[in-house]
Amino acid sequence: MPGSGPKFYACAVCKKRTKPKERRHISKPIRKYLQKRLFVDVKDNEIICNKCRHKYYALESSSFTRKDSNHSDPDYVPSVSTSQSKGTKTPTSPPSVSLNIKTTSKTHSRCLVCKRPGPKLVVLSSEARFNVFIEQNVLIPAGSRCCPVHIHEGLLCSDSLENVPIIETAFLNRTSVLKLIKHLREICCCKQNKLNFDVLNDVEYENLTGLSRSQFDDVFRHVADKIYNSPSRSSRTTLGIFLLKMKSGLSNKLLSTLFGISKSSVRRAIVATKHAMMRGFVPLYLGFESITREDIINHHTRPLAKSLFDANDGKVILVLDGTYVYIQKSNNFSFQRRSYSMHKGRPLVKPMVIVTTTGYFVTVMGPYFADSKNNDASILNHMLKTNTEEIRDFIQEDDIFVVDRGFRDSLELLQDLGIRVEMPSFLSKGQKQMTCDDANNSRFVTKIRWVVESANARIKSWKYFNHVLPTNQIPYIGDYIRIVCAICNKYFKPLCNADSDDDSRLASKMRALSSNANILKSYVEDNNLERRSALWKPVDDSSLQSFPRFNEEQLRSLTCGVYQLKMSSSYIQEHLDGNCEIHVHNDDSDLIRVRIQSRHTSSRKYLLWIRFSAADIEAWYCKCRAGERVVGMCSHIASVVWYLSYARHLQCQKFGVHNWGEYLADAGKIPETIDETDSDTDVSVIEE
């Protein structure tokens, strides 16, 4: 016909356009094979390309060999799955299945996303194409290529297909449909039967590891080149097994059930992740080499600490303390003696934790033994004398170490090195109460030193360290703690802010209060108010009408902290049970005396006095060890002030926590035996 173009001859099998030299007639055996095995109905005028024809003859020759040896049936025809031989590709069915699924056009010489020509293009893997189908319901043809910049961690970026033309109908062959169904089934089985960190959502990452998905991805980027996929688990799942082990403390046996792998595979995953984290993650975020002195001073030091301790510019303030990891008793008697703590009454090992005043972990050393030769002071002396982790090259003269009383035997060595030590004061021999200056200075230390206790609690929030560990885990405890501390440094918020304006105001107030004396103590002792009980009468509602009212912010300002206020509700709970007595002075209605129960010893009660006005609390004094201080107040005084000025005016009058003792039996309560002679009933009558 004039004006018509050249006729298009397509192969009946591969649907490719054929040249005249490649066209072959479809014989009767080939027609029968295509209809029976590939479900292709061939018309009379259709042709087959020479390539597909040669594949058929190759399959036929191999099938006759197997037929002669294994089959006696002369009509035996090999199926697609059994017709593969060396060097021979199995023919696939033509794309004759039409599905209402979005797809893209197949690209080979240009990028699928940006249409940039090669040659630096990569072929999209089946995992990447299937991930796009799962998340965006778009099928990408096999063999499609794209630029490497569009691929992240082996998968196509989620926003890469925004400007790519989409075709509404996809044509697939039988093999592609079967592969798609098989892959979907595998994903469903993974979701139903075992954990897989490749398919979890953000909430599940947070619940299982304590890290968000973005944080998990960041950790994985540090160790991705050091953890490899295995037939039983992916590299992401390997990292997830380790973090779940640390966060939950689950046994390897239970983890193997959750992840659907063997217990030995769980063990190998934990060991592989530990080595990878220690090489690629921990050195970046933990240790003296990971941080400079300038970073600690400028970004990890509270202004409150600088002001309370008169720290010079350029001086580092570090807080040190030992923590405990409990272990099982060993059958090696020598090790059993060295690892037994007389203080705790059980076997354990002791890591030494060094943090800044904001709670940033500088380093963790050890773990050490737990016997008398390895107390906190001995451990610090060992660290300094052996220059562990080159600590003596990091610290300088006039740096400040904030420690507790357990480091008292290290004072001489620290002074020789020129290091200032801030430590709570001691009671002298025969002394029952600290002086006002000692109590105030101790308050300065505790106001800063609490951060190391909270840092240790942050470590124990990873439940692995809260369990009694078997002795075969002792070689790995130190590495595990360092990994956890490095994760806390990188992803967790600091325990307190290093740039708070409230710190400067609080420091000025505490230093101003420390110069005052406790005038109420002198008044109590001069007037012998502790013994003259006749001067006091029980309070009633009218006696405390003039007691000032405070809100929570005013109470925090009065106590210079929150710890005492947190304990107040529990102290007042016993007051409401009758274990606290409040009296007011007969002649001075602005002075009250309270006898309050000790929370540690049942036989001990403390006397305290509070002088108040209609607008403020003017003075206080308690007979406890730290009750003379004027920088803040002890928990006993704080609980009385909290109740009288704030809690008793609340509508909800429930304080403290529930007393679970009502569900327990008390062996100390034995009913008195009734004497038979006191009974009016004749025993013989009862027996009858």
**Would you state the pLDDT for residue 589?**
84
Distance (Å, rounded) from C-alpha 484 to C-alpha 278?
11
Residue at which a domain ends, from 32, 60, 94: 94
Range of the domain at 215: 194-280
| Angle at 145 (CA atoms; ends 142, 148), nearest 5 degrees | 135
**pLDDT tier, 688 (very low <50, low <70, confident <90, very high otherwise):** very low
**Would you state the pLDDT for residue 519?**
92
Residue at which a domain ends, from 502, 534, 556: 502
Q: Are residues 555 and 572 in the same domain?
A: yes
**Would you state the pLDDT for residue 476?**
96
Identity at 620, one-letter amino acid code: W
Q: Out of 81-85, 95-99, 248-252, 676-680, give the one with best mean pLDDT.
A: 248-252
Distance (Å, rounded) from C-alpha 105 to C-alpha 139?
10
Q: Exposed, middle or buried by CB within 10 Å (0-12, 13-18, 19+), for 257? A: middle
What's the predicted TM-score (pTM) here? 0.71
510: in domain: no
Q: Are residues 127 and 272 in the same domain?
A: no
Residue 339, classed as helix, strand or coil, is coil
- Bigger pLDDT: 538 or 410? 410
Please state, in angstroms and as integers, the Cα–Cα distance from residue 571 to each residue in 67, 182, 310, following that order: 92, 65, 35
Residue at which a domain ends, from 474, 502, 530: 502
Distance (Å, rounded) from C-alpha 474 to C-alpha 477?
5
Q: Are residues 66 and 210 in the same domain?
A: no
Q: Are residues 488 and 623 in the same domain?
A: no
189: in domain: no
Distance (Å, rounded) from C-alpha 74 to C-alpha 58?
18
Q: Are residues 350 and 461 in the same domain?
A: yes
Calculate mean pLDDT across residues 551-564.
Answer: 89
**Would you state the pLDDT for residue 431?**
85
Strand partners, 580: 596
Q: Are residues 315 and 461 in the same domain?
A: yes
Q: Are residues 490 and 362 in the same domain?
A: yes
**Would you state the pLDDT for residue 95?**
65
- pLDDT, one tens digit per residue, over 299-354 is 999 999 999 998 888 899 999 999 999 999 999 999 999 999 999 999 999 999 99
Identity at 557, one-letter amino acid code: S
Does residue 480 have a pLDDT over 90?
Answer: yes
Phi-psi region of 40 (alpha: psi -120 to 50; beta: other; left: phi over 0): beta
Matching residue, tokens 């800044």: 356
678: in domain: no
Residue 24, classed as helix, strand or coil, is strand
Structure tokens at 213: 């998905």
673: in domain: no
- pLDDT, one tens digit per residue, over 82-134 is 333 444 454 555 666 677 778 887 777 788 888 888 777 888 887 788 877 87
**Would you state the pLDDT for residue 72?**
41
- Inter-residue contact 216 to 487 (CB < 8 Å): no
**Would you state the pLDDT for residue 83?**
37
Structure tokens at 193: 């039967």
Which of 197-206, 476-485, 496-505, 678-687 bottoms out in mean pLDDT, i.e. has the lowest?
A: 678-687
- Bigger pLDDT: 500 or 273? 273
H helix intervals, 168-234 = 174-193, 202-209, 213-223
Strand ranges for 450-579 from DSSP E: 536-538
Does residue 592 have a pLDDT over 70?
Answer: yes
Q: Exposed, middle or buried by CB within 10 Å (0-12, 13-18, 19+), for 122? A: middle
Please state, in angstroms and as integers, the Cα–Cα distance from residue 497 to each residue in 38, 298, 302, 360, 505, following that order: 71, 12, 7, 11, 14
Structure tokens at 19: 């040249």
535: in domain: yes
Identity at 83, one-letter amino acid code: S
Structure tokens at 568: 């107040």
565: in domain: yes
With the CA atoms of 14, 15, 16 and 19 taken in that order, what torsion angle do they form, in degrees rounded to the nearest 10?
100
Residue 625: which residues within 8 A CB-CB, separation 6 or more? Answer: 427, 432, 433, 434
- pLDDT, one tens digit per residue, over 222-237 is 999 999 888 778 899 9
286: in domain: no
Beta pairing class for 97-99 and 23-25: unpaired
**Would you state the pLDDT for residue 276?**
95
Calculate mean pLDDT across residues 140-151.
Answer: 82
- Bigger pLDDT: 156 or 675? 156
| Angle at 351 (CA atoms; ends 323, 427), nearest 5 degrees | 45
Q: Are residues 215 and 175 in the same domain?
A: no
Does residue 47 have a pLDDT over 90?
Answer: no
Strand partners, 583: 538, 593
- pLDDT over 90 for what percent of the chain? 43
Distance (Å, rounded) from C-alpha 570 to C-alpha 588?
29
**Would you state the pLDDT for residue 649?**
83
**Would you state the pLDDT for residue 94?**
62
300: in domain: yes
- Mean pLDDT score of the chain, rounded to an integer? 84
Q: Are residues 488 and 348 in the same domain?
A: yes
**Would you state the pLDDT for residue 35?**
75
Strand partners, 99: 170
Residue 368: what are its φ and ψ, rounded to 5°?
-115, 170
Q: Are residues 425 and 542 in the same domain?
A: no
Q: Are residues 201 and 174 in the same domain?
A: no
**Would you state the pLDDT for residue 574?**
75
Q: What is the 3-state secondary structure (H, E, C) of 580-620?
A: EEEEEECCCCCEEEEEEECCCCCCCEEEEEEEECCCCEEEE
Which of 155-164, 456-465, 491-500, 631-640 bottoms out in mean pLDDT, i.e. has the lowest?
A: 155-164
Distance (Å, rounded) from C-alpha 221 to C-alpha 356?
28
N-term to C-term CA, the chain: 130
**Would you state the pLDDT for residue 680?**
52
> How many domains are contained in the chain?
5
Q: Are residues 364 and 482 in the same domain?
A: yes
H helix intervals, 362-467 = 376-385, 391-394, 411-416, 436-460
Distance (Å, rounded) from C-alpha 477 to C-alpha 481?
6
**Would you state the pLDDT for residue 145?**
84
**Would you state the pLDDT for residue 504?**
84
CATH of the domain at 338: 3.30.420.10
